[in-house]
Copies of this chain bind each other. A is one copy, B any other.
Amino acid sequence: MGTCINHPDRETPYICMKHQIYLCEECLECRDPKIYCKHRSACPIWFMSKRKAGWEAEDKQAAATHTVTFLPDGRTVSVPADSTLLEAAQAAEIHVNASCSGKGSCGKCKLVVTSGEVSTQSTPLLTDLEKEKGYVLACQSQITGDVSVQIPEETLARKLKIAGMGQAVTDRLNRLVTDIDPMLQEIPLTLEHPSLDDSVSDLDRLNRGLKKQGCDVDRLNVGIKVMRQLTEVVRRDNWNITVSVVRRKCANEILEVRPGNGQHQSLGLAIDVGTTTIVVYLIDMSDGSVLAATAGHNRQADCGDDVINRIVCAEKDGVKKLSRMALATINDLIGEALDSVDAKREAVRNVVVSGNTTMAHLLLQIEPRYLRRDPYIPTVSDFPILKAGEIGLKANPMAAVFIMPGPASYVGGDIVSGILYTGFHREDPVTLFIDIGTNGEIVLGNKEWLMTAACSAGPAFEGGGIRWGMRAEEGAIEKVTIDPQTLVPTLSTVGDAPPRGICGSGMIDLIAELLKTGIVDRSGQFATELGNDRVRKQGDEWVYVLTVADETPVNEDIVFTASDLKNLIYSKGAVYAGFTTLLGEAGMDFSMVDRMIITGGFGQYLNIEKAVTIGLLPDIDRSRFAYMGNSSIVGAYMALLSTTYRQEARTICNSMTYVDFSSNPSYMDEFTSALFLPHTDLNAFPSAVAGVS
């Protein structure tokens, strides 16, 4: 760091290597030659190449570059000198875990330098053993020459497996929609040939043909592009055409006219854009069958795990960057789905996207800045039907895109989509609907009323901020029991692979077991006098050893630390406080809740009993709990096929009353009370207490 040559009050990390002068970010971005040109034209100014594309081109020749080789693949990339290893990995399109968005605080982006040198910041997030082995944090290591790095097992973001493909998903979903009624309709027409006695314009002739098919042509728009193509298109196949008409709330629009009126394949996409995971279903619009389903990690994860980090990143680097990242993932998944059935993107003419409000804003390149600032206002809640081409989706550019409406900054279209699927808004029983991820969204209500709120659970359930935390990927410890005598755990992992870390459901299991076996107490303190190898001090902290080094490909003990436990207690406390606060707002308590619906990927492996034991879920009759899977994608599927469901989604969104917890004094009290295992009010957890004590 140094002082900007133009602004002596500003510290800046940017230095011109040739002139040894510092310039602050504003000066770098300023195009006034008086400010920077005198230093710039002859300088390599290596730092500019980092993020400032406009300068990069000009400085390319001058800027030094180094080659980075990533093992075990051997992929190489050439990057500007002094890039970080994380930037190099991004340039090489290798997706390493980087929960904290490169701040150096999550410790996930570990790499091993095998040859060459990097300049790395010291960090407490690496153990001495790791440092000895050459481990560095990718985001904290600047490249000073050609270098080779090994990507350890635990750092690689692995390809997701999606549960239920093709026929299985079709069987599950097919009964949900009976009358298929897409946004964009394909209308085959044979027009009457023009003659001197019938010389109306091509467009009028088209409208006449549509009117005969029952289309309301008085409410029909048409754009200049269609008009420009129309002359040739109607004549190419002897006045046989197919017209694509999109049905909107207030007026319909002719989006495309094609020659020929034979049968065309018509495909649709239901897309669930999660903060962590993106799921794509490719649908045959003729019968609603699911032709393919693909899933992958949202590439935005390079900018951090949670929506707040994403918004911060968008404020810094521009919303377009985040949009591109999400689109890269989505379009890869669409391509994969299309390839699997040998279909072309042009055949995709209907799309529904479901995602939380931040995901929707970022995808559409709408400024997300105010989503995270009091009073938390989204720019758009209820989106008009868009065209795939204008938002960059890999589909027919004319494809109609419905974005699931979301009522608030922290309760988005994914929740509305989930309600649409689970359908409790059409029923009498009072339902508590929850979707737990980095944010916990909660909906309470029935067919008469709907209240909703969101609480910040933090990234712990998804592995963030946890020493060996990871997502529910292959090798994640998802179930744990601990022998009360030996304190040795029995583990199950996702895919029965050797353990690489622990995922959210595994942590809940683990905490319940730690509590049962007395390794930790209700306040989250480790028992320090057990005299067992599994419970020991590592550095300054007490840890529980889940796996010893020689049983895991990571070649290190996988442990669960006191800090990890504290983070988890905060997370579960935030969620539980959400339940009780929202119930309080409605003047209710858990006894009046007829049903509790859990959705989202996290719930999939959740052990209800153990979640009650640690106080994440309320201690109510277990038969009232229901797990409904990824309800967001299923709601999107329903809306894709049905106008009624699209309308119903809008109705749900408009009828939800949002309760803001940030301004709600009782939420903080409820939160504090919930920072115990299971809770300070043990009376609320009779069975949980009985099970442990």
Contacts and interface: CB of A to CB of B under 8 A. Distances in A.
Contacts of A378: 201-202
Given A219-B251, A377-B194, A391 B203 contact: no
A382 B205 CA distance: 12
Nearest to A200: B381
A26 interface: no
A220 interface: yes
Contact of A224 (B250, B251, B364, B658): B364
Interface stretch (A41-49, A365-373, A496-504): A365-373
A218 B250 contact: yes
Contacts of A235: 370
A127 interface: no
Contacts of A390: 223-224
Given A196-B375, A374-B196, A376-B199, A384 B222 contact: yes
A366 B227 contact: yes
Contacts of A201: 377-382
Given A228-B365, A364-B224, A364-B227, A380 B202 contact: yes
A556 interface: no
Interface in A230-274: 230-232, 235, 248-251
B199 A375 contact: yes
A203 B377 CA distance: 10
Given A658-B199, A663-B196, A228 B367 contact: yes
A386 B226 CA distance: 12
Contacts of A228: 364-367
Interface in A176-201: 194-196, 198-201
A611 to B, nearest CB: 31
A681 to B, nearest CB: 28
Given A228-B366, A367-B231, A221 B251 contact: yes
Given A196-B660, A231-B370, A224 B391 contact: yes
A192 to B, nearest CB: 12
Contacts of A218: 249-250
A395 to B, nearest CB: 15
Nearest to A357: B201
Interface in A336-390: 364-367, 369-370, 374-384, 386, 390
Contacts of A227: 364, 366, 379-380, 383
B203 A381 contact: yes
A369 B231 contact: yes
Nearest to A222: B384
A366 B227 CA distance: 7
A117 interface: no
Contacts of A380: 201-203, 227, 230
Interface in A394-426: 408-409
A521 interface: no
A204 interface: yes
Copies in the complex: 2
B375 A203 contact: no
A386 B224 CA distance: 7
A482 to B, nearest CB: 45
A191 to B, nearest CB: 11
B203 A382 contact: yes
A383 B663 CA distance: 53
Nearest to A218: B250
A382 B208 CA distance: 13
Given A203-B379, A380-B202, A248 B230 contact: no
A71 to B, nearest CB: 42
A382 B381 CA distance: 35
Contacts of A370: 231, 235
B379 A660 contact: no
Contacts of A219: 250-251
Nearest to A235: B370
Interface in A563-606: none
B200 A230 contact: no
B408 A199 contact: yes
A369 B232 CA distance: 9
A331 B39 CA distance: 43
Chain B CB within 10 Å, residue with most, of A201, A249, A660: A201
Nearest to A385: B221
Contact of A250 (B199, B220, B658): B220
Contacts of A376: 196, 199
Contacts of A377: 194, 199-202
A228 B365 CA distance: 6
Given A194-B377, A231-B379, A248-B251, 7 more contacts: A196-B662, A221-B251, A223-B390, A224-B364, A224-B390, A228-B365, A250-B250
8 contacts: A194-B375, A199-B377, A199-B409, A201-B380, A218-B250, A221-B250, A224-B391, A228-B367
